Structure 1
Amino acid sequence: MARSPRAPWSKANPRKRAGKASTRLTSAEKATAKARARRAGRPYPNLVDNMRVAAKKAGKTKTSGRKRSAAKANTKKATTKKVASKKAARKTARSKTRAASSAKKRSAKRATPRKATSRKSAKSKREKDPRGGLTAAGRQAFAERDGAHLRPGVTKKVSEMTPQDMRRKGSWAVRFYGRDPLPPLLDAKGRPTRLALSAHAWGEPVPRTVAAARKIAAKGERLLARYHRIKDSRTRGKS
């Protein structure tokens, strides 16, 4: 035979069993329970109506607790969203600031005129042949600035030279490589100086040693001697 369930009043108080203090109904809750018992035709006080009122009270408490939890969660979510929004705004502001700064720098760079030294250096490079000597533009610049009538170096073979070619090349060779003391032919990095590179403009190998430079000077002396012999012979022929 099935065992009938125990009545609530026959059970031990669960709050006492859990070690918690019992809650009592307030005067208003007791009045509600009494009215409920009267409508049902039950004598009061009774456990049924008291438990019903207590259950409603517990339900309200749970509902309010859930509402508080939901409100707390919503507040937390709103706070998180607000923080994320602020971070995004700061990031956007930083990006705009960087973009504006970059644009300002580019604008300033475009507006800044080139230095005169840079222009002068570029012009000097155009006037000087990197292999040695002057370019046509360089000779033209000297003519405009100093009134000099510079001509390209003589690169012909000796057999093809005119007396004037011999005089010009011989004079150049003695003036450049016959001087004493001889200026440096190599710079600190071991590259030929402009003095050494000028030999290329006159059809001679670029000297790297004093001996090589003196050899070009000796060739110049021979060319000058030959020029003077030709000149003297022509003078004697006229007389």
Structure 2
Amino acid sequence: MARSPRVPWKRPNPRKRAGKASKHLSPRKKAAAKAAARRAGRRYPNLVDNMRMAAKTKRRTKTSGRKRAAYERPAAKSAAKKRKTAKAKATKASTRKRGGRAREKDPRGGLTAAGRKAFAEKQGAHLKPGVMKKESEMTPQDMRRKGSWAVRFYGRKKLPPLVDDRGRPTRHALSAHAWGEPVPKTVAAARRIAAKGERLLQRYKRASQKG
């Protein structure tokens, strides 16, 4: 036969056994326990009503904790929302800044009008668009400009990379598009543009001598 547990008043105080100080009810809780004992026809003080009031105190403490969490939760959400908004603004500003820089460069090669204007403001350089005319339509100045560009970019002894790791043309190679030339992907193609530039410079010299 199972042994029935001892009633609380016959068990030792667990707090004393754990070496902790006993907790006492507040005067208000004692008055409530006394009133409960009177309604039940029990003598007071007694452990039953005191334990019941102590249990109610614990439950109310937990409830107040939940209420406190409910009050704190909106504040935490508000702070998180502010952080998220600030982060979104920073990302947007960074994207706008990157976009502004990207618009200064033509994705097909060379600079845009905004890019040439930015160079003029920063470095005082007066850059002009590349010459894209046919040779038969070029003026001597056009020949000089395009010939000088072609030799300077693709006639140097050691060329910069013309393609990246994925086989895409680099900005150096794409500059040919801004001057009306096919984008070189090999050294041989780049040297052909340089040779064309040398021919244009020779034509410019002959035209200058005649003038």
Superposition TM-score, scaled by structure 1 size: 0.55
Please state if 1:172 is matched with 2:181.
Answer: no
Q: RMSD value over aligned CA atoms?
A: 3.7
Summarize deviations over 1:161-182 as a string: whole Å, max 9, x none. Answer: 1121111111111100000111
Please state if 1:95 is matched with 2:70.
Answer: no
Match of 1:188 in 2: 165
**In 2, Cα distance between equivalents of 1:84 and 1:145:** 66
Change (3 A) 1:125 1:110: closer
1:97 CA drift (Å): 3.9
Q: Which has the higher contact order (CA 8 A, sep 6+)?
A: 2
What SS class does the counterpart of residue 176 from structure 1 fall into? helix
**In 1, Cα distance between equivalents of 2:130 and 2:149:** 9
Amino acid at match of 1:168: R
Q: Where do residues 205-224 of structure 1 align in structure 2 (5 Å cutoff)? A: 205-224=182-201
Q: Where do residues 148-167 of structure 1 align in structure 2 (5 Å cutoff)? A: 148-167=125-144
**In 1, Cα distance between equivalents of 2:186 and 2:123:** 33
**In 1, Cα distance between equivalents of 2:170 and 2:98:** 17
Amino acid at match of 1:191: R
Summarize deviations over 1:49-101 as a string: whole Å, max 9, x none. Answer: xxxxxxxxxxxxxxx9xxxxxx9xx99xx79x858845752552453243132
Amino acid at match of 1:197: L
Match of 1:198 in 2: 175
Identity %: 60
Greater than 6 Å deviation, 4+ residue runs: 110-115, 117-120
**In 2, Cα distance between equivalents of 1:86 and 1:189:** 62
**In 2, Cα distance between equivalents of 1:111 and 1:84:** 40
Report the structure number with the largest CA radius of gyration: 1
Q: Where do residues 121-140 of structure 1 align in structure 2 (5 Å cutoff)? A: 121-140=98-117
Q: Any unmatched runs of 5+ in structure 1?
A: 1-63, 65-70
Q: Any unmatched runs of 5+ in structure 2?
A: 1-41, 43-48
Change (3 A) 1:112 1:134: closer
**In 1, Cα distance between equivalents of 2:80 and 2:123:** 47
Deviates most, 200-209 or 119-128:
119-128
Superposition TM-score, scaled by structure 2 size: 0.62
Change (3 A) 1:140 1:106: same
Amino acid at match of 2:190: A
Change (3 A) 1:113 1:208: closer
Give the alignment partner of residue 226 of structure 1, picking from 196, 203, 211: 203
Q: How many aligned residue pairs are there?
A: 166
Deviates most, 152-161 or 83-92:
83-92
Match of 2:118 in 1: 141
**In 2, Cα distance between equivalents of 1:105 and 1:212:** 53
Change (3 A) 1:99 1:222: same
